[in-house]
Amino acid sequence: MPSVPTPDPVEVRRSRRRTRTVTAWREGGITVVSIPARFTRAQEREWVTTMLGRLEAQERRRRPSDALLLQRATELSRTYLEGRAVPASVSWSSRQGKRWGSCTTLDRTIRVSDRLQGTPRWVLDYVLVHELAHLLRPGHDEEFWALVGRYPHTERARGFLDGYAHALAHGGRGRGDDEGPDDDAVDDAVDEDDVDDVDDVDAAGA
């Protein structure tokens, strides 16, 4: 009988710096939900349930199917490459080694490393544009980079991937403080009417 996957354990972190926001993210096999320190237990349960749902929805969007990858690549080609790069297929691959993606110009197939599943959309979009550009320019010459440079988040995405590769090589994804990573977390504002017991202190002055 196949085993049933169990959800990640949830760790609730109360922060005195938070007064009107709640954030959730994944961290080393657990799900962290950061809430204002003065939340009641009932508010904690309500917001944990809400944020887990939103985090799961975000992760589904960041792990599109192969069909959706092809659809997205087609949209990006129209937007940045005048529709000239026309892939026959785009698929996830677990055989990319250290590469983020690859393409075969002969049959116009693009493969994307499954290590990118869960990364921000603008990062995945950059990799797709990069491989689409290879359908037009096989090498990495000046014309190739001019095509890739049409994507407005190119430099930001390349910086992200450099840091991501370093984190993966050292057994993690890298983190900042306990407020959660900007690109992986989901945030929500708290309605003041629902948090009468939360200190009304500006976060910057806490």
Q: What is the pLDDT of residues 95-152, one digit of tens each?
A: 898 899 999 999 999 999 999 988 889 999 999 999 999 999 999 999 999 999 999 9
Residues in the chain: 206
As to burial, measured by CB atoms within 10 angstroms (0-12 exposed, 13-18 middle, 19+ buried), residue 128 is buried
Number of structural domains the chain divides into: 2
Ranges under pLDDT 70 in the chain: 1-7, 60-62, 172-206
Asked if residue 195 is part of any domain, the answer here is no
Residue-level pLDDT at 156? 96
Pair 52, 78 in one domain:
no
Asked if residue 10 is part of any domain, the answer here is yes
Pair 79, 107 in one domain:
yes
Q: β-strand 109-113 against 101-104: which pairing, if any?
A: antiparallel
- Mean pLDDT taken over the chain: 81
Query: Which CATH number is 140's domain given?
Result: 3.30.2010.10
Pair 72, 153 in one domain:
yes
Pair 8, 89 in one domain:
no
Q: Domain containing 120: what range?
A: 66-169
Rounded to 5 degrees, what are φ and ψ at 122?
-65, -25
- % of the chain exceeding 70 in pLDDT: 77
Pair 158, 100 in one domain:
yes
Pair 160, 74 in one domain:
yes
Asked if residue 78 is part of any domain, the answer here is yes
